[in-house]
Amino acid sequence: MSKWKSSFTSPEQALSLVENESDQRTALLYGRYQETLRAYQAMDFDDLIRLPVDLFQGFPEALLRWQQRFRYLLIDEYQDTNDCQYQMTRLLAGSRAALTAVGDDDQAIYAWRGASTANLQNLQNDHVNLRVIKLEQNYRSSQRILTCANHLIRNNTKLFEKKLWSDHGPGDPIRVFAAKDGENEAESVVMRLLAHKFEHNTRFSDYAILYRSNHLSRTFEEQLRGQKVPYTVSGGSSFFDRAEIKDLTAYLRLIANTDDDPAFIRAITTPKRGIGNQTLEKLAGYAGTRNISLFAAAFESAMSHQLPARQHEELLTFCNFINRMEARADKEECATVMADLMSAIDYEAWLFDSHEPRQAEQWANVRTLSAGSTANRKLTVKTLLAMTQTIALMNLLESREEEAGCGFIIHSACCQGSGIRSCVHG
> Is 158 part of a structural domain of the chain?
no
Indicate whether 192 and 278 sit together in one domain. Answer: no
CA–CA separation, 47 and 50 (whole Å): 5
DSSP 408: E
Q: For residues 159-185, give the mean pLDDT.
A: 89
Per-residue model confidence as pLDDT tens digits over 340-386 = 888 898 888 888 777 666 666 677 777 777 665 433 344 455 788 88
Structural domains of the chain, count? 3
Indicate whether 333 and 380 sit together in one domain. Answer: yes
pLDDT of 101 above 80: yes
How large a percentage of the chain has pLDDT more than 70? 87
Indicate whether 251 and 336 sit together in one domain. Answer: yes
| pLDDT number for residue 379 | 45
38: CB partners within 8 A, 6+ apart? 277, 281, 284
Indicate whether 223 and 365 sit together in one domain. Answer: no
Residue 398 φ/ψ, nearest 5 degrees: -65, -35
> Is 298 part of a structural domain of the chain?
yes
Crossing angle, helix 243-256 and helix 309-329, to 10 degrees? 80
For 352, the domain range is 239-400
Between 405 and 159, the higher pLDDT residue? 159
pLDDT of 54 above 80: yes
Residue 298 φ/ψ, nearest 5 degrees: -60, -30
Count CB atoms within 10 A of the CB of residue 163: 10
Q: Which residues pair with 377 in a beta bridge?
A: 374
> Is 15 part of a structural domain of the chain?
yes
> Is 285 part of a structural domain of the chain?
yes
Q: Which residues pair with 234 in a beta bridge?
A: 411
Indicate whether 216 and 349 sit together in one domain. Answer: no
Q: Which residues pair with 165 in a beta bridge?
A: 137
| pLDDT number for residue 137 | 94
Indicate whether 195 and 86 sit together in one domain. Answer: no
Q: For residues 401-409, give the mean pLDDT.
A: 45
| pLDDT number for residue 274 | 80
Indicate whether 340 and 395 sit together in one domain. Answer: yes
Q: For residues 42-54, give the mean pLDDT.
A: 93
CA–CA separation, 283 and 303 (whole Å): 7
Cβ atoms of residues 115 and 79 within 8 Å: yes
> Is 133 part of a structural domain of the chain?
no
CA–CA separation, 6 and 113 (whole Å): 9
The CATH number linked to 347 is 1.10.486.10
For the ranges 99-108, 187-196, 417-426, the maximum mean pLDDT occurs at 187-196
Indicate whether 263 and 327 sit together in one domain. Answer: yes
The CATH number linked to 79 is 3.40.50.300
Average pLDDT of the residues of the chain: 84
3-state secondary structure of 104: coil
Cβ atoms of residues 172 and 142 within 8 Å: yes
Per-residue model confidence as pLDDT tens digits over 23-44 = 999 999 999 999 888 888 889 9
User: Of 126, 141, 157, at which residue does a domain stop?
Assistant: 126
Indicate whether 301 and 231 sit together in one domain. Answer: no
Indicate whether 302 and 356 sit together in one domain. Answer: yes
Indicate whether 310 and 224 sit together in one domain. Answer: no
Indicate whether 186 and 72 sit together in one domain. Answer: no
pLDDT of 16 above 90: yes
> Is 263 part of a structural domain of the chain?
yes
| pLDDT number for residue 42 | 87
Per-residue model confidence as pLDDT tens digits over 256-293 = 899 999 999 999 998 888 888 889 999 999 998 999 99
> Is 151 part of a structural domain of the chain?
no
Query: In the structure, what pLDDT confidence band is assigned to residue 417 with cuts at 50, 70 and 90?
Result: very low
Query: In the structure, what pLDDT confidence band is assigned to residue 177 with cuts at 50, 70 and 90?
Result: confident
> Is 291 part of a structural domain of the chain?
yes
